[in-house]
Amino acid sequence: MALTTVRTPEAVLRAETPQRGPGRAPRRRTPLTWVRGGGLSTLVLALPLLVVFGLFSWFPIVRAVVMSFQSTNLVTPAEWVGLENFQYVLADPLLPQAATNTLYFALLALVFGYPVPLVAAVLMSEVKRMRGLYAALAYLPVVVPPVVAVLLWKTFYDASDTGVFNTIAGWFGLGPFPWLQDQAWAMPSLVLEATWAAAGGTVIIYLAALTGVPPELYDAAEVDGAGVWRKVWHVTLPQLRGVLFVTFILQIIGTAQVFTEPYLFTGGGPANSTTTILLMIYHYAFGGRGDYGAATALSLMLAVVLAVLSAVYFKLTSRWSS
């Protein structure tokens, strides 16, 4: 299960609509004709999907909903407690802060991670020679395993004046900065690393989208006398609108589930300034009290918010593509 990997419902959904070819002719349904008609083989072929999804997707989803109304400690039988878990979570003084932190993370991730890859990709798309080198360089941080990246950046963020970043800052007469050791600095530091680790992927996505922009549109714009900037503004960006929106939503959904960075960098500190919703869920469930009910209740609340986002996203994109 990749907690950080987000897939797009929309693209796959759209695939559902047109079914090609006529349906098969209706048959009389007896067990024998069913087997003869390949029904059994079909079922056997469907088994991997049925078993894997049944056990590791559908069942846990149902279980999540059930558990959020239960008090479960795995020793004594689960007890129905109605909305108690939800009330408990909503009354947790940490919740508003964790929610704010999560939003703040998402916002910073957009500020840091949204425009830069776009600019880089647009510039890169104009590179004629060795574009592969540019792309590979941009993508290199993505290849570094996320845990390694975090541990490496932890070294960079050494807050002493001989830390890596503080040494560099010192060249410009700045710093030393506290990086992770300060309530105001910690979150931006986390996002900076996360952006470094992820931006390359976004660049490549934009680059792929840019090659899909029909050259005729540029030709046409030139006929109308458009300069480079106007072409960027009136042709490139509108053509990228779709992919820009996709990455926007995906980034929000992805950052809402961020775990590795706060867990490994700061453990949620200093003073809860980097505690995210997922970290809270983790602590409810695995941090000591084993409060699985509260953990699933909070998960469900987060899921509803994300589902609404997904729905909005689906709605908008399907309108655009029609």
Residues 36-95 that bind another protein (CB under 8 A): 38-39, 41-43, 45-50, 52-53, 55-61, 63-64, 67, 72-75, 93
Give the separation between CA 28 and CA 34, rounded to whole angstroms.
9
Residue 223 engages another protein in binding (rule: CB under 8 A):
yes
Residue 126 engages another protein in binding (rule: CB under 8 A):
yes
Enumerate residues 248-307 that contact another protein by CB under 8 A: 253, 256-257, 259-260, 263-264, 266-267, 269-272, 277-278, 281-282, 285-292, 295-296, 299-300, 302-303, 306-307
Of 79-87, 103-111, 156-164: span binding another protein (CB under 8 A): 156-164
Judged by CB under 8 A, the number of residues near another protein is: 162
CB nearer to another protein: pick between 99 and 303: 303
Spatial neighbors of 184 by CB under 8 A, at least 6 apart, are: 273
Per-residue x/- track, 6-25, another protein (CB under 8 A): xxxxxxxx-xx-xxxx-xx-
Binding residue for another protein, selected from 147, 174, 238, 312, defined by CB under 8 A? 147
Give the shortest CB-215-to-another protein separation in angstroms.
5
Q: Which residue has the tokens 């009389």?
A: 28
Hey, what are 213's tokens? 């922009």
Spatial neighbors of 221 by CB under 8 A, at least 6 apart, are: 230, 231, 234, 235
Cα 217–chain centre separation: 32
Give the shortest CB-105-to-another protein separation in angstroms.
14
Give the shortest CB-107-to-another protein separation in angstroms.
19
Give the separation between CA 206 and CA 217, rounded to whole angstroms.
18
Give the separation between CA 268 and CA 252, rounded to whole angstroms.
20
Hey, what are 207's tokens? 């680059």
CB 320 within 8 A of CB 19: no
Hey, what are 210's tokens? 């840019």
Spatial neighbors of 199 by CB under 8 A, at least 6 apart, are: 113, 116, 117, 120, 138, 141
Residue 110 engages another protein in binding (rule: CB under 8 A):
no
Cα 250–chain centre separation: 5
Give the shortest CB-12-to-another protein separation in angstroms.
4
Of 79-87, 107-115, 158-166: span binding another protein (CB under 8 A): 158-166
Give the shortest CB-320-to-another protein separation in angstroms.
9
How many C-beta atoms surround the C-beta of residue 217 within 10 A?
15
Give the shortest CB-171-to-another protein separation in angstroms.
9
Would you call 321 exposed, middle or buried from its count of C-beta atoms within 10 A (0-12, 13-18, 19+)? Answer: exposed
Enumerate residues 182-221 that contact another protein by CB under 8 A: 182-183, 196, 200-202, 204-210, 212-220
Q: Nearest-CA neighbor of 247 among 13, 11, 16?
A: 11
CB nearer to another protein: pick between 108 and 298: 298
Give the shortest CB-125-to-another protein separation in angstroms.
5
CB nearer to another protein: pick between 106 and 135: 135
Residue 96 engages another protein in binding (rule: CB under 8 A):
no
The three-point CA angle 109-112-113 to 5° equals 70
CB 279 within 8 A of CB 258: no
CB nearer to another protein: pick between 107 and 154: 154
CB nearer to another protein: pick between 14 and 107: 14
Give the shortest CB-198-to-another protein separation in angstroms.
10
Q: At what angle do helices 115-125 and 94-113 cross, to 10 degrees?
A: 20
Give the separation between CA 132 and CA 288, rounded to whole angstroms.
49
Give the shortest CB-167-to-another protein separation in angstroms.
5
